Structure formats: structure tokens, C-alpha cells
Chains A and B, each alone.
Chain A
Amino acid sequence: MTAGTTTLEQRLGRIEAIVARLESDRLELEEAMALFEEGVAHLREVDQLLREAELRIERLIAGPAGSVTSEPLPDATSGGPPREPA
């Protein structure tokens, strides 16, 4: 899977875990600080992903001997049918 995107689920899961830890009582300051920093870092990353992401569209191509590759499909959201590259 792709790096920037699978981590969305992982990051959200990690943030939830951090919040649960912070809401529990038995934490030393070091741990609380570290968790908080980590949580904020994840929040920032997710926030940035949400704001800056651009849809990537690819077309699957059957290669030789059962292999599968893909190529970008430009202009796919421009409204019309995808254009052939010149």
C-alpha cells in the first residue's frame, strides 16, 4: 500500500491510543510529554494530509505473464473522457 495513505488509519489509531493513555492516571511527566508531542505530531500530519492531498488516479494494465502495472490517468476529473497522450 502507499505510504502517505495507509498511515492515515494508523495515525488516527495512534492518536486514539495516545488520548486513552493521557486520560489514564498513571503517567510520569516524561511519558505525558512524549505522548503529547507524538500526538500533536500525528494531528499535524493528518491535518496536513486532509488539507493538501490530491486525488491520484491510475489505470491498471495487464502486463506479460500475469503481471499488473499501472499508469497515471491524467485529466480524469476534468469532466470529459480521458485523453490519449499525444
Chain B
Amino acid sequence: MSGERHPDAGGRSPDRPSARGGPGWLRGARPKAYTVAAVNILAREVLEGSLPPIWVQGEVTGWKRHVSGHCYFTLRDRSARLRAVMWRSDAQRLPADPDEGMEVRALGRLTIYEKSGEYQIQVNELDSMREGGLWRVAFEKLRAKLEAEDLLAQERKRPLPRYPAVVGVVTSPVGAALQDILRVIETRAPWTRVLLSPAKVQGDGAGSDVARAIRLLARSGVADVIIVGRGGGSVEDLWAFNEETVARAIVNSPVPVISAVGHEVDFTIADLVADWRAPTPSAAAEHAVPDRRAIERDLRSLATRMASGLDRWVQSRRQRSSRSRETLTEAVTWMVQSRRDAAATLGDRLDALSPLGALRRGFAVPRDEAKRVLRSVHDFRPGMRVDLRIADGVVDCRVEDLREEPL
């Protein structure tokens, strides 16, 4: 077939009318004719071989995305029209289809569609002339759609748990974002269990993979909060987080979701629907878990208040009590006064705070089986079982004998 359609690589045919002999048919020999298909193929090859890929600017009209994924449209300006096609492999990278009448720039090769003989441009790249291009168009379209469903409302935002036991993370298992998140959680809240739901975060199919990973975490039922994100990159790299499927997975998550996509300046649809938008993965982790140092501060203050609460209890009893040497009250008073300052810090000093620490001085608290403190000999009876709370344990005792003997 190639010999027939293309008799000579240089485009010259041996049957070409010669200047010397005049038209062949006059001499009785009919020149060999090309088939129509051959002519179109020849023309296509000439056209394709004569021009490098070129940029064309014009208005899109009649955009049609075929079920095959190929896109057909026309570029036009005031005076001319140019048929255009974008194959699926290129068209699937478009964040959105251009709107009718949208001014675009397209990069492609001129070619001829052999079946119809129509000449067209085969487009590999296409972008809107609007600011932000088709990415912006896609972003705004989806934002409007979600907004219409009331999914961006501030009232929808759920509060984050204060002390999450399990933090779910949806990101690439090999990305820097995961390392950043783990480092922060390890520093702030090392008691946390981190559940990674690995996802492909860029490239073909990234959006649906991120959505799948979020749903997997949701189904596991153990995460208290979910961080979804990745490190910085181009608009194209971050695109998965602008896809509807990811937005829906976030919205449908049973637990709050923190988005952490790229850098501070990057804003994605995921950020809009998330319960909290963190500017970076590290910031997301900081927001997800409490800081150990803050908890320690709280504990110190609680410990101090606990000690002074007991202190006040003792003071009020003292005033009411006529018996100034009531053993137990004294014990507690002594304990509180001598140890109160020590309550300022935790760690070793927690021991000091304990009444058990005070008991180490030799005081013991007798209690009956119902754990009632026994204050008077009248509370005891021979043969009765009593436990003695002392510094390092409890002594089970049986009462042998008793007598009244004021101090």
C-alpha cells in the first residue's frame, strides 16, 4: 500500500506530466492516478512534516468530550475557524473542559484527518487565557457546586478532639509530609497512635486514591481525627486535592479532617471542606495533638490546687474542732504544710505531694472494711478487722483490745 500511495519519497511521481512529451493521455498512455486515501495520506505527511508544533490562540466553540475520552472542538477568531482534536491521553490531564467561547491557547501539530480530508490541529496542551487558567476554572466550578450544597458552611466545621488517641494520616508513605507529621507528633504527644492510610498523592488517579484512603480510615473506625495532605508542589502536583471525589470523602468522614496541602499559599478544595485548614503538614500535626509541655503545666497547677484544696479542708476543720490535737487532722495539716511547696513540680515531687508521703513520717490512717476512717476508740471493737493505711501500703489488722486514753 505504501508504494501505491506514495510512489516517491521526495513527492515526485514518475507519472508526472513531462514538459517534453505533453500530457500522457495525448500520447495514449493514461497517467497513473492516486487513490483518494493515498492523496490524503500524502497531504497529511507533507503537512505534518513541514511544521513543528505551534501555539494557536482562539476561542473554543463546540467543545465535545466523546465517551472515549477524546475531545473535539473548533478554534475560531473573527475571520476563521480551525478544527481541533485532543486525544484522551492529553485531554485527561485537563482540570476542566473549557467553556463555550473561552479564549484559549493551544499547542499542537497541524494534521489532516484522512477519512474526511479535513485539516485540523491535534492539540497536546490547552489552557484558558483567564488568570489561573483551566485550573482556576475547575476550582471555581467545584467550589460553586459544593457551596450550592452548603458543604463549605462554617457551621459544618466540627471541633477537633483535644486529646486524640489515634490520629489517621492520609498521605504518601514516602513523602516528606509524613516525616514532618510524625516528627511533630512524636515531640508533642508521643503517646499517640498514628494510623497511616497510604495514598498516591499526585499523578494519574491520585484524587481517587486519596479519596479511597480517607474512606478506608473512616471504615476502620479507630481514628479520632484525620490529617489529609502532602508537601508542596506545582498546581498540577496538588491537583488531587482539588478533585470532587476527595472533597466528598472529606465531607463524609465521620471524624474531623485537617487538610494540609502544600505550603501556606496553596489553597485547595480540600482546604475548603476540611474541618480545619492547616498551612503545612507540620502545622496540621501541631494542631491535631496537644503539647506535652502544656499538659505538664496543667498537671502542675492541678496538683497545686489539689494540695491547697486539702489544706483548706484542714483549716476549716481545725476551726470547727475543739480538739486541737486530733491526730489525723494534725497529720494531714502537717503533710499539707510541709509538702505544699513541693507540689509546684511533677516527677519526683509528685511523691511528696501524696498523703502517703506524709504518712511516711509515721502517721497511719485506720479504716474499717467500708474504708471509713476510724477516729475514736468507740469506732473500734475487739475482733474487728481494720486496715492501716501507711506510707507504702495497707496493713490488715485485727483489733485485740482497746482503752480510752486522751492525749
Contact = CB atoms under 8 A, between A and B. Distances in A.
Most buried by A among B193, B347, B365: B193
A9 B309 contact: no
Nearest to B368: A30
A34 B310 CA distance: 11
Interface residues of B, number: 63
Contacts of B173: 59, 73, 81-82
A27 B191 contact: no
Interface string A44-73: 101101110111111110100010101001
B102 interface: no
Contacts of A73: 173, 196
Given A43-B299, A70-B220, A55 B190 contact: yes
B194 A19 contact: no
**For the side of the interface on A, what is the size category?**
35 or more
Contacts, number: 157
A60 B196 CA distance: 6
A4 to B, nearest CB: 7
Interface string B281-311: 0000000000010011011001101100110
A22 B373 contact: no
A54 B365 CA distance: 38
B55 interface: no
A46 B353 CA distance: 15
Interface in A1-59: 1-2, 4-6, 8-9, 12, 15-16, 18-19, 21-23, 25, 27, 29-30, 32-34, 36-37, 39-40, 43-44, 46-47, 49-51, 53-59
B313 interface: yes
Interface of A: 1-2, 4-6, 8-9, 12, 15-16, 18-19, 21-23, 25, 27, 29-30, 32-34, 36-37, 39-40, 43-44, 46-47, 49-51, 53-60, 62, 66, 68, 70, 73, 76-77, 79, 81-82
Given A5-B193, A32-B313, A76-B196, 14 more contacts: A8-B163, A12-B298, A19-B305, A23-B312, A40-B306, A43-B302, A47-B299, A50-B295, A50-B296, A53-B189, A57-B193, A59-B198, A60-B168, A77-B186
